[in-house]
Amino acid sequence: MGFVTASAPGKCILFGEHAVVYGHPAVAVAIDQRISVKIQPSPNNLWLLDGSSLNMNRNPHIKGLIEKLWPEQFGAPPLSIHIEGNIPRASGLGSSAALSVATAAALRMARGRWVSKTDDTQQQHWLEGFGSTITKSEPYDNSHGFFAPESPAERYHITGKSSVDYDECAILAHSVEAAAQQGIASPMDSSTCSRGGIVIISDVIEQGIDYLYQRTLAMKDATRHWHIHEMAPPTNSDEVYLVIGSTGIHAPTGKQVAKVADMLQQDPSRMKEIDTIGQIARRGIKALREGDFAAVGRTMTENQLMLSSIGVSSPELDNLIRVASPSSLGAKLTGAGGGGCMVALTRNPKETSNAIELAGGRTLISRLGSSGLSIDESQNTTFWTKP
Ligand code: PMV
C-alpha cells in the first residue's frame, strides 16, 4: 500500500511580536521540534485519524485542507492520517501551522500535479494549485482556465517531490489557519513552518534581506497585506542554541493583542513604545545578518524590556527570563505573552535549561533556524489524481 510522510518545524519569534500588528517587522525562526503527518489510503473506506474515526469539526485545519486538496466530490478516496510530533500545542510555537503545512505537502504528494506540456520541462506551468503569484486560486473553476485541460496532449502529470511546493503549502496553511481562527491569522507561522530558517514579516519590503512574496488576507474589517522575507541562518549558528521555556499558562493571543490595542486607544502617545520595538527588531535583523550573537542576545533583552513596558509579560515569564539570564546572551518572552513561552539565546543550553526547569518551566532546546518542510518517506505515490 502507498504512503507519504511529510514533516514541518515549529517556530518561535525572536523579535517584534505585537509591534508586527502595527506594521513593524517581526523575526521568526524555525525550531528543531517538528510535526510529522503520514497519510495512506484508508483500509476501511472511512476517514481515520490515528486509527480512530476522523472528526472533521474537531480538526478544522485538516478539514480545510481536505476540502481544498482532496475533494470527495471528485472521487478522492478516504485516507488514514497519523500525526506525531514534539511541538507543544497552543503555546505559540506554531504547532497548528506545522500540522497544516505537513498535511498540505502530504496530500499534494499523494495526488501529484497537472502541469502544461512544454518542450522545456524546466518551464512547466501549473494547471492546478494555489500560489502567491496565481491570482485565481480556485482549482476547480473551469471558467478561469486554472484547471487541467481536457485534452491529454496539452498536459502531463508530475509526481513525487517535484509536485510539492513550499509556497503552496504555506498559502494553504495560512488560509486554513485563518478559517480556524475567525478569519484572523498572520502568515508568519505558515511561512516559517514551510520555509524553515529565519523568516521576517513586515508591512513594507525590508532592505538587505531576501524578499519572498506578499500575502493578502481579507479580514472582517479590512484587507491586510504582509511582505514575507527570508534569511539563511548565519554560518556560525552552530555556536548557539535557543532554550524555550514554557510557563504552562495558557494565554490566548487574541486577548493579549486586544490588551495592547486598549492601551493604545487610551493613550495614543504610547505608540512610541511600539515604534521602539520596531527599531529593536530592525537592529536584531542586522545583528543576525552579521552573525553577531552577542548583539542578537542584547537586542532580545532590550525587546523584552519594551514588551514588559506595554504590559504583555507576566510574573511567571519574568521569573523564567531572570533565571535564564546569567547563562545566556539574552532572553525574552516569545509570542503573545501573558503566559506561554520565553526564549533564551545561549552558548550553554544545558545550564540555561536546568535553570529554567528549576524555576518551574518546561524546556525545549533547539538550534536557531532549523530546516523547513520535508517529505521524509514515501512509497507507491500517487494514490489519487484529479481526472
Ligand atoms: O503567540 P503567537 O505565535 O501566536 O504570536 C503572536 C504574535 C503577535 O504579534 C502577538 C500577534 C500577531 O498576530 O502577530
What is the rounded distance in angstroms from the CA atom of residue 273 to the CA atom of residue 154?
Answer: 57
pLDDT for 123: 55
Contact assessment for residue 83 and residue 37, using Cβ atoms and an 8 Å cutoff: yes
Atom of ligand 1 lying closest to residue 257 CA: 10
**79 Cα: distance to centroid of ligand 1 (angstroms):** 33
| Radius of gyration over every alpha carbon of the chain, rounded to an integer in angstroms | 21
pLDDT for 245: 98
**40 Cα: distance to centroid of ligand 1 (angstroms):** 34
pLDDT for 122: 53
**Sole residue written with cell 519569534:** 13
Task: Kindly report the protein residue whose alpha carbon is nearest to atom 11 of ligand 1.
Answer: 18
Instruction: Compute mean pLDDT per 10 residues along the chain, 387 residues long, and list them.
Output: 95 96 95 98 96 96 93 91 94 95 97 77 71 52 43 78 92 90 87 98 93 84 89 95 96 90 96 97 96 98 98 98 98 96 98 98 97 95 84
> What pTM does this model have?
0.93
**253 Cα: distance to centroid of ligand 1 (angstroms):** 6
79-85 and 48-49 as β-strands: parallel, antiparallel, unpaired? parallel
Atom of ligand 1 lying closest to residue 93 CA: 3
**117 Cα: distance to centroid of ligand 1 (angstroms):** 43
pLDDT for 150: 55
Q: Is the CB of 334 under 6 A from ligand 1?
A: no
Mind giving me the DSSP string for 225-268?
A: EEEEEEEPPPTTGGG-EEEEEE------HHHHHHHHHHHHHH-G
Give bridge partners of residue 155 from the DSSP assignment: 116
What is the rounded distance in angstroms from the CA atom of residue 82 to the CA atom of residue 38?
Answer: 5
With a CB cutoff of 8 Å and minimum separation 6, the contacts of 352 are: 241, 243, 324, 327, 328, 344, 346
What is the rounded distance in angstroms from the CA atom of residue 33 to the CA atom of residue 9?
Answer: 6
pLDDT for 104: 97
What is the rounded distance in angstroms from the CA atom of residue 120 to the CA atom of residue 350?
Answer: 53
Q: Is the CB of 273 under 6 A from ligand 1?
A: no
**336 Cα: distance to centroid of ligand 1 (angstroms):** 5
Atom of ligand 1 lying closest to residue 94 CA: 3
Q: Is the CB of 11 under 6 A from ligand 1?
A: no
Mind giving me the DSSP string for 299-326?
A: HHHHHHHHHHHTT---HHHHHHHHHHGG
DSSP tag of 220: S
If one residue of 89, 182, 186, 192 were mutated to test the ligand 1 pocket, choosing by the most ligand atoms within 8 A of its CB, it would be: 186
Task: Kindly report the protein residue whose alpha carbon is nearest to atom 4 of ligand 1.
Answer: 92
What is the rounded distance in angstroms from the CA atom of residue 243 to the CA atom of residue 355?
Answer: 11
